[in-house]
Structure 1
Amino acid sequence: MTGYHVPTRGILMSDDARDGADTGANVVVTGAAGFIGSHLVEALRRTGRNVVGIDRKAGWPEDEIPASDGVGYLRTIRGDLVSADLDACLKDTSAVFHLAALPGVRPSWTQFPEYLHCNVLATQRLLDACVRVGVSRVVVASSSSVYGGVADGAMSEDDIPHPLSPYGVTKLAAERLALAFAARLDATLSVSALRFFTVYGPGQRPDMFISRVVRATLSGEPIDIYGDGAQIRDFVHVSDVVRALLLAAKAPACGVLNIGTGRAVSVNEVLALTGELTGQVPEARYGPARLGDVRATTADVGRARLRLGFRARTELRAGLATQIEWTRRSLAGAPPRQAASSVGMAPTRRS
């Protein structure tokens, strides 16, 4: 349940994304007003899927948008998963994409009850309703934060999780809950949990690193860097994350999978690339690392490639350019265009 982002233009889907979106009847997206959720809702509708979007975000309107010209129906519901009438929301649903969560490492140290509410209790209640109603498939959005910082090299799904923040603890609890519900003998539920690495792109939350860098650079303002900038991250574009979600909904239940690029770059490299693409040099102010931040994250992507046929397509340069364009338009007061950010964008392929 992140910042409300409304797609303003349609997108074209690549063939494998269309195949991955073939989830049967209606689909439900929780956290539908958020960064990834809004992109996913748009992608599903463009494949003709009928979508029910649920979010507790203030300003998320309750509405019904009819299907037209091959674009699926959308019903939006504003509500908290802990208290909403989920049985009614899940009626005639074949698949659920569970993206709703309270994000952020640093606030989780001081707001842990709220993280438990949004990330654990909400997940438990949703899964319980899925079992009652007979939903056959749930795809859960997890996080690389469950690994912590102990991996030597790429982080594998076989590594023992060692989260270094309360946020990471709640994300691990959510994915384990989902797998436990799927193992119930009285459930028809199958589950895939996708551990997203650092997702970026148009509509990214304003508190995230790339969003802060791009906005500050374009505005000519300083940007605070937590640490020396040598820390590395596996930055994965939102278009690739949406494609992975669609593929996971169709593939046989595959447990836990990493979703990243398999490559990592440093914070300082992102700063340099932002300067190159904008023609403006970012003014970086370095300070202490934040509590709970890890030094390095890189995804071992072999299992996602094997079980989903997934490979990230968007190189950082191309992906960062889409976010810079989106931010320019936002700062200028123009309607941000989502088209270049979505699954149908011209990809930069890696060999």
Structure 2
Amino acid sequence: MDNVVARGTKVVVTGAAGFIGSHLVEALLDQGYTVIGIDRRSPRTDPIARLNLQEVVGHPGFSWAEADLMDADLDSLMEDVRYVFHLAAVPGVRSSWTGFPRYVTANILATERVLAACVRQEVPRLVYASSSSVYGVSGSPSRENEPTLPISPYGVSKLAGEQLCLAHAKRPGSRLSVVALRYFTVYGPRQRPDMAIGRVLAAALTGEQYTLFGDGTQRREFTYVGDVADATLAAATVDVPAAVVNVGGGSSVSMIDVIGMARQVTGQPVPLAAIPALAGDVPATAADLTLARALLGYRPDTDLHTGLARHAEWLRRLPPDQLSLYTPPRVAIEEVSACSS
């Protein structure tokens, strides 16, 4: 992206205190953007938000708004904004079966509020963080033009948000353009602590048991967070009125292979306990990246082994009190959800 174009351009990132959101904020600041971060989690009171944002708090180009999207003054926050990156959401497949009202509020109703504010403030571009969970079960690499048949309430909520975005962009006379990015299982430093790769690496480093759902043959297209940030930046400036684009890591890998790589990069065994697979957990995900290459110039730079090594090194550097944040109780585990904020 051209730093001359970026310099001083005002953007908003919702979900800025989250895993992907905090990496995106850093990338935008590096490009010279002026960034408004919005999140209901506060770095003053939430230890993970504090850890995620420690590199940007105090940066002259970064301003912080602690707010819930359902009651925030979005018109004021989006005044003179060029791009909105909407990453805020309630993530996770497992808890969506019992807590769906939270998903409806955060993933659908809040998305509509963000879109309406963009329209009123004449924001020209919104980039929406969608999920590979919208596809459901697929026997081959998923393409953006194939049917979407989510098999979890979480996937349903992300698809509804995506469709709302496209409806606003395609409305006659609309000045708002939208790119929805379907992220495939994002991992890397700061990954949400109930996600699979972080839990596997933490198990190797601490000796805590890793609970494997199913027999380990389920496959995921794991995508390094730096590649996701690059794709998200590219989506801001691509010249399209409305588009849906896959963002994946370039290959689909089994959990058995992930566990083997974790042993290699940490030099430690991964203590295991296996339990049956959970409802909503698809057998495999894989992304067709043809459109991402053509539209965004996207080519993932980080292979899984390299990304695991970076993730493990980040965990190693954490002091014990912070590492404990990434070794959650077994009752809190989510497994390999497709997207994480």
Normalising by structure 2, what TM-score?
0.88
Q: Which of 261, 266, 273 does residue 273 from structure 1 map onto?
A: 261
Q: Which moved more, 1:296-305 or 1:177-186?
A: 177-186
1:290 and 2:274 are equivalent in the alignment: no
Q: Counterparts of 1:299 and 1:247 in 2: how far apart (Å)?
A: 18
Greater fraction of residues in helix? 2
Q: CA deviation at 1:158?
A: 1.2
Q: Which of 22, 44, 66 does residue 78 from structure 1 map onto?
A: 66
Instruction: Identify the residue that residue 257 of structure 1 maps to in structure 2.
Output: 245
Identity percentage of aligned residues? 50
**24 and 156 in structure 1: CA distance in 2 versus 1, 3 angstrom threshold:** farther
1:112 and 2:100 are equivalent in the alignment: yes
Q: CA deviation at 1:101?
A: 0.3
**64 and 105 in structure 1: CA distance in 2 versus 1, 3 angstrom threshold:** closer
Deviation string, structure 1 residues 180-216 (Cα, Å, up to 9, x no partner)? 0111224210000000001000000000000111111
**Contact 1:24 1:94 survives alignment (8 Å):** no
**305 and 21 in structure 1: CA distance in 2 versus 1, 3 angstrom threshold:** farther
Q: CA deviation at 1:19?
A: 6.2
1:163-242 maps to which residues of 2 (within 5 A)? 163-242=150-229
1:92 and 2:80 are equivalent in the alignment: yes
Q: Which amino acid aligns with 1:95?
A: Y
Deviation string, structure 1 residues 287-333 (Cα, Å, up to 9, x no partner)? 10011100000000001001111011100111001100111112546
**Contact 2:108 2:160 survives alignment (8 Å):** yes
Normalising by structure 1, what TM-score?
0.85
Give RMSD over aligned pairs. 2.0
Q: Counterparts of 1:54 and 1:299 in 2: how far apart (Å)?
A: 30
Tell me, which stretches of 5 or more residues in structure 2 are unaligned?
324-341
**Contact 2:3 2:32 survives alignment (8 Å):** no
**Contact 1:26 1:51 survives alignment (8 Å):** yes
Q: Counterparts of 2:99 and 2:319 in 1: how far apart (Å)?
A: 31
1:124 and 2:108 are equivalent in the alignment: no
Q: CA deviation at 1:174?
A: 0.4
**21 and 287 in structure 1: CA distance in 2 versus 1, 3 angstrom threshold:** farther
**76 and 103 in structure 1: CA distance in 2 versus 1, 3 angstrom threshold:** same
1:238-249 maps to which residues of 2 (within 5 A)? 238-249=225-236
Q: Counterparts of 2:194 and 2:127 in 1: how far apart (Å)?
A: 25
SS of residue paired to 1:93: coil
Q: CA deviation at 1:82?
A: 1.1
Q: Which amino acid aligns with 1:106?
A: R
Instruction: Identify the residue that residue 30 of structure 2 maps to in structure 1.
Output: 46
Instruction: Identify the residue that residue 338 of structure 2 maps to in structure 1.
Output: none
